[in-house]
Amino acid sequence: MSSETQPPSSTPPSENLTSRAPLQGRAEELPPVTPPSAGYIIQLFLIPALIVAAVVAVWALFGKLADSETDWRQMVADLGSSNEHRRWRSALGLAQLLRNSDRAPVEGELPLSEQPIVIEGLTELLKQSLSGNATDDEDIRHQEFLARTLGSLDADDKVLPVLAIAMSKDQDIDVRKSALMAVSMIAGRHFEKATEFNPASEDSPVTAAERGLPLSQPTITDEQVLQQLKQAVQDEDPVIRHLAGFAVASVSGDDSIAMLKVMLDDADSKARANAAIGLARNGLTDGVDQLQALLASSGEPFDMSSVQSLSPEEQLMEKNRFEVEQPMIARNCLRAILELWPQIPSEKQAELSKLVDELARSHFAADVRAMAAETAKQIKAP
């Protein structure tokens, strides 16, 4: 640019800066101004742009799943695709829709969980996967996911036979756990319907007699599932046992009640808890002594000497697990005692009332203290 076209400036051109004498009072000259590097520009503009794009993409994906007027049928069709990634992506999409079936596209008021092509597609996909004797971690995760998803479907004749296969000892243990959770979901819905009990409704029947408990007939009648449950409550893995106990409580019926009573002596505290709570859910007081013992032990501090052989990281994990599980057991036991309270003998009521007061004062978990205080008010109310 010529000197005639340059804008007026009170300072000399930049190339003469180095020849200028330092201004009076300055210790040193300012460093030369350099243009930003390409890397800096990328960090400043490109990376935030990518983050924004990713957020928009995720938002668009969930918006598409939530507003899939026609896509759910395509998802079902893709379950039979030869492309493995497409199959599992479609299964994930259907599972997300099933979690909120009120917003899912249905025809003739038929919920997505009862759509025959959805039921057929998901059950067949799991059945085929289980028959392949998968050992790959990703395949196992897919089976776990599908087994849990089947718990949202309302078609026992199609779903339960496949879950019975997933519960068998031939399958990966995590797949078995997911199948037990699914059976619990299905049996739980049937149990609430049979007893006309809705925890969210103030008009639901409260007492065991009003709810027709214990049920004379099981809520699930699939023989293979019932057989797998009988084996699961005796499994060598304690997690399998306590998950089975939870499921058995919702299945109800004479055989289930008998299994729960045996489980009161299980070596695992969570299995004992689920047995006692399950009996209470069925309106029976047989597990009250176990509820009392579990409540009393739930407030004890973690015993570090029991994990001395573990690494510091493992010790911390065990301590954290204890501090999550024990309050959960305490809360469930408090609910069970409150539900059974009118049926509990007066001598045992006195013991439990004293224990609940103690928990309200000194349990290490604040939410348990609060719940115990509220329980104490209710059981002492005239």
Confirm whether 240 is domain-assigned: yes
Residue 21 to residue 43: CA distance in whole angstroms: 37
- Over 90: is that where the pLDDT of 183 sits? yes
Residue 309: both structure tokens together: 């052989």
- Say yes or no: 294 and 179 in one domain: no
Residue 153 burial by Cβ neighbours in a 10 Å radius (0-12, 13-18, 19+): buried
Comparing 67-71, 195-199, 220-224, 251-255, the range with the smallest average pLDDT is 67-71
* pLDDT score of 43: 52
Same domain, 90 and 139: no
271 lies in the same domain as 377: no
Kindly report the backbone phi and psi dihedral angles of residue 128, in degrees, each rounded to the nearest multiple of 5, phi listed first: -65, -40
Provide the phi-psi class of 109: left if phi over 0, else alpha when psi is between -120 and 50, else beta: left
- Whether residues 134 and 100 share a domain: the answer is no
Which range has the worst mean pLDDT, 121-125, 166-170, 230-234? 121-125
* Overall average pLDDT of the 321-330 stretch: 93
The helix/strand/coil state of 239 is: helix
| Domain membership flag for residue 41 | no
Residue 7 domain-assigned (yes or no): no
| Span 351-380, pLDDT tens digits | 999 999 999 999 999 999 999 999 999 999
Reply yes or no on whether the pLDDT at 26 is more than 80. Answer: no
Q: What is the reported pLDDT for 104?
A: 46
Mark whether 269 and 325 lie in a shared domain: no
Which three-class secondary structure state does DSSP give residue 196? coil
Element (H, E) at 375: helix 366-380
Nearest to 277 by CA among 195, 269, 193: 269
pLDDT of 56 > 60? The answer is no
Q: Is residue 3 part of a domain?
A: no
Q: How far is CA 275 from CA 45, 152, 159, 174, 343, in A?
A: 58, 24, 26, 21, 18
* pLDDT score for 350: 97
133 and 274 housed in the same domain? yes
Look at residues 260, 286, 312 and tell me which one is the last residue of a structural domain.
Answer: 286
Is 307 within the bounds of a domain? yes
Q: Which one has a higher pLDDT value, 162 or 142? A: 162
Who wins on pLDDT, 233 or 302? 233
Tell me how far apart the alpha carbons of residues 184 and 181 are, in angstroms, rounded to a whole number.
5
Q: What average pLDDT does the chain have?
A: 82
134: CATH: 1.25.10
Looking at per-residue confidence, does 111 or 109 come out higher? Answer: 111
pLDDT tens per residue across span 126-153: 998 898 877 788 889 889 999 999 999 9
- 212 and 67 in a single domain? The answer is no
6 is a domain residue: no
- Per-residue pLDDT at 258 exceeds 80: yes
* Predicted local distance difference test score (pLDDT) of residue 211: 77
Q: How many residues does the chain have?
A: 382
Question: How many structural domains is the chain composed of?
Answer: 3
Is it the case that residue 10 has pLDDT exceeding 50?
no
Final residue before a domain boundary, out of 114, 137, 160: 114
Does residue 111 register a pLDDT over 60?
yes
Mean pLDDT, range 176-186, rounded to an integer: 97
- For residue 199, whether the previous peptide bond is cis, meaning omega lies within 30 degrees of 0, is no
**Same-domain check for residues 153 and 274:** yes
200 pLDDT above the threshold of 80: no
> What does residue 214 show for φ and ψ, rounded to 5 degrees?
-75, 155
Residues 344-349, mean pLDDT to the nearest whole number = 96
- DSSP structure class, residue 31: P
Same domain flag for 129 and 80: no
d(CA 126, CA 128): 5
- Sequential DSSP letters for 77-95: HHTT-S-HHHHHHHHHHHH
Specify if 29 maps to a domain.
no
pLDDT at position 65, please? 43
Domain that holds residue 273: 122-286
Helix (H/G/I), strand (E/B), else coil: 22: coil
Give the pLDDT confidence score for residue 35 in this predicted structure.
Answer: 58
Report yes or no: 253 and 231 within 8 Å, Cβ to Cβ: no
Query: What does the pLDDT average to over 86-113?
Result: 72
| DSSP-assigned states of every residue in 109-169 | T--GGG-HHHHHHHHHHHHHHHTTT--SHHHHHHHHHHHHHHTT---HHHHHHHHHHHHST
What pLDDT is stored for residue 39 in this prediction?
A: 54
User: Is the distance from CB of 163 to CB of 147 less than 8 angstroms?
Assistant: yes
pLDDT the model gives residue 239 = 96
**Model pTM?**
0.75
| Residue 28, C-beta contacts closer than 8 angstroms, at least 6 positions apart | 22
pLDDT higher than threshold 90 for residue 219: yes
Task: Look at residue 144 and tell me if it is in a domain.
Answer: yes
Instruction: Please give the biggest Cα pair distance in the chain.
Output: 107
Whether residue 72 is found in the same domain as residue 185: no
Which of 67, 89, 114 lies at the terminal end of a domain, its last residue? 114
Same domain for 326 and 355? yes
98 and 200: one domain?
Answer: no
